[in-house]
A and B are shown apart, each in its own frame.
Chain A
């Protein structure tokens, strides 16, 4: 057991500051354990979201020494022994209190996306899909909605274009629908015009922070951009479109 120093941002939407806590750290502890210890021993009103404490629910997203991470999956032995650990809320969403931010914008984006629309079942009453065909969709469905990708996306974080781009989380949601073997919906036009696929400039910051290691850029965003290009920028498709009108290509 060793005493370690933590700087935790305390405040609300009107402002705040870093508060220093000295906490005894034991073997195996993660940053979320430190937060709980602060709550139990020093400051029971320190606000922080958490649920599963095993990297499965995505509630405890925060910025630890400037890096967006899950508090429950960040082990204390990944820091130097005398390193001061700074903990602050994610930057892209408005602070409610301490480490808790208002992520409701994300829930609003999901509502804008046309839901799954399956084709008819087979004669035996079953849908048939093969493992090799569902694997790429299953990768996207590993998403735990921690919104760390939304937090680091330049379009949302630095340029605050939340009215233009739904962000990486919902690009993979869209990819999971568009690539679903049973889905019959068509969201390509909206991906270009309403969800803002063109705003992503493929810096892959989202992929880097994903705790589920989803290849957000390579496997979801780039293929969706390609589908948009095929539909709207392919010369042959455009000529056909002019001749035959607004048919699915």
Chain B
């Protein structure tokens, strides 16, 4: 193939992914005068952001005036088991309120408080009602607002266009090779900078809330280009996914159900979360049903119910109840809001949950409890970035949103993802634009482009081979079985051996028919990234010999003191193998450490002063 026959499109910055982080980054680039392009595997407005239900966390103090950025920061660090990048958690907590108000300026219509301000709801791990929301469809509101705003900003939106790999000139970004899903034709984007906003890699598991798109594309492409991945062992299993019927297993049930008063019960009718309150959170958690009920009625002196502990804690508790024989008929537990709130309240606050259960499970959540269990939901880890600019270690490559790592440490608080993508999407846009102003366009290396195209077409140009969907399912089974919510060294070693086997199988995958809108071929290409993602998670999980946040080792229970002193960093080695190092963490700035370890009373009621 002659490289000159491939379509070439020029941009200053190419944003890869059009979820919340990608669109927010593209808007910033365009507003800073960049010639900005954005590619997405799906149509605009369909990315996983639409699935986010609960809300965007921002310490605006609209509902409880005691809230401020310091308490949000403290909650985030505690939720992340102090493994977050301190500076990222700080920037996030400080800037989230402005980002939410900015959305309102762009047309978002959040639910209101009685005095007309943006309403905020309670959520797991957040000390105060902090999540700006629209019923239980906040993600849809946010992506549609960004979408409707961005189409007037001169951004070239290339829909149904999938990235293959970065093109490098002497180690820095010169562009990206991609293909149009509609035609199967290739395209080269010649750009000075690329921003990855590609989301996570939940599709490596069988039970996940993630759609077909979440194949770790940014992780795989960044890794192959020489960027570092960090904290990959921390995968969030959302405690409440649907478990019945089988066809919807894994679909998300928003934490908003618990935020609005829902409780968790085992098959004995016992509110079991009272048994699982970690010592660290005991002082701030209700220890009786009576106190939890008072909190539910709005008593500001009552402590929070244990259902609103962080996701890692709740997910492990559910697994334990099921394992010890106290599960629901289909292997989960009961999530009950029907007994706690009137029907019209439930329908008003949780309309899409009501709809989802009636339509898909024939369960009326205003009358009966839901059956729920853990589902792979989110990657805390990801591409390592500079905290202020979102620059990766590859010059010209930036990353934001779920595909980047560091903000959430070992466990993400619900609601911190929608605010993360707004804050760091914007910062990535600024970072990339500043970079673009300083550099000249790199040269496109034809041999690199040819090799990328050849690798993609190889799946089609075979006489026979393995079915891509069968190979994907094989990998999902491995990850589900050996790299699940509870892990062991022995199983992780098995997983790594199996991953090597699947890696070989991928070479033998055959996609049938022509490349035009061919889901089989698309899935085959995505396997290149899914396998890197799977290997990264299993490798990092084996190295971290402790249990912390979203990473639980049955052979190393509990947090170990040394665990907080390092981050696990992965990088492609000179021999092509995955190299791991434990990088010592730097001491935090004193003022941040003081806030994170402060008593809550010392932070309350002082409005943000930084």
Q: Write the residues of chain A forming the contact surface with B, with a CB cutoff of 8 angstroms.
A: 12, 26-30, 33, 39-40, 43-59, 73, 75, 96-98, 100, 103-104, 107, 110-111, 115-116, 118, 125-131, 134, 137-138, 141-145, 173, 177, 180, 183
Contacts and interface: CB of A to CB of B under 8 A. Distances in A.
B43 interface: yes
B513 A45 contact: yes
A50 B211 contact: yes
Contacts of A145: 45, 144
**Closest 6 interchain pairs by CB?**
A28-B245, A44-B520, A128-B116, A116-B107, A45-B513, A47-B517
A54 B361 CA distance: 11
A40 B518 CA distance: 12
Contacts of A143: 144
8 contacts: A33-B247, A40-B473, A44-B523, A50-B212, A52-B51, A100-B182, A115-B148, A115-B152
Contacts of B212: 50-51
B177 interface: no
Contacts of A137: 109
B105 A118 contact: yes
Contact of B51 (A26, A40, A54, A128): A54
Contacts of B519: 39, 44-48
Given A55-B359, A129-B116, A45 B520 contact: yes
Contacts of B111: 131, 134, 138
A143 to B, nearest CB: 8
Contacts of B101: 125-126
A131 B116 CA distance: 7
Contact of A56 (B134, B245, B246, B352): B352
A29 B141 CA distance: 29
A96 B248 CA distance: 28
A52 B211 contact: yes
Interface residues of B, number: 66
B356 A55 contact: yes
A183 to B, nearest CB: 8
A12 B43 contact: no
Contacts of B355: 55
Given A44-B520, A145-B45, A56 B247 contact: no
B152 A96 contact: no
Interface stretch (B84-92, B265-273, B464-472, B588-596): B464-472
B345 interface: no
Contact of B511 (A44, A115, A142, A144): A44
A57 B50 CA distance: 6
Interface string B195-230: 000000000000000011100000000000000000
Interface in B500-545: 511-514, 516-521, 523
Contacts of B115: 128
Nearest to A97: B517
Contacts of A43: 512
A52 B360 contact: no
Interface string B68-109: 000000000000000000000000000000000100111101
A45 B518 contact: yes
Contacts of A27: 245-246
B107 A59 contact: no
B360 A107 contact: no
Interface string B439-475: 0000000000000000000000000000111100100
Nearest to A128: B116
B263 interface: no
Nearest to B510: A44
Contact of A103 (B43, B109, B151): B43
Given A129-B109, A142-B137, 18 more contacts: A28-B244, A29-B245, A40-B473, A44-B469, A44-B511, A51-B47, A51-B211, A53-B211, A73-B359, A97-B516, A97-B517, A107-B44, A111-B151, A116-B106, A116-B149, A127-B104, A128-B115, A183-B107
B423 interface: no
Contacts of A54: 51, 248, 251-252, 356, 360
Given A40-B469, A57-B50, A111-B152, A144 B517 contact: no
Contact of B43 (A30, A59, A134, A141): A59
Contacts of A126: 101, 116-117
B211 A130 contact: no
A125 B102 CA distance: 11
> Which of A12, A51, A111, A126 has the most chain B CB atoms inside 10 A of its CB?
A51
B517 A180 contact: no
B53 to A, nearest CB: 9
B360 A59 contact: no
Contacts of B467: 40, 44
The listed residue with most B CB atoms (<10 A of its CB), out of A12, A28, A43, A45, is A45
B255 to A, nearest CB: 16
Nearest to A181: B109
Contact of A44 (B42, B247, B512): B512
A115 B107 contact: yes
A58 B46 contact: yes
Interface centre among B140, B159, B470 (most CB of A within 10 A): B140
A53 B359 contact: no
Contact of A57 (B46, B107, B114, B119): B46
A46 B519 CA distance: 7
Given A55-B356, A75-B359, A45 B512 contact: yes
A30 B144 CA distance: 27
A107 B246 CA distance: 35
A115 B152 CA distance: 8
B51 A56 contact: yes
Contacts of B46: 51-52, 57-59
Nearest to A147: B43
A134 B106 CA distance: 15
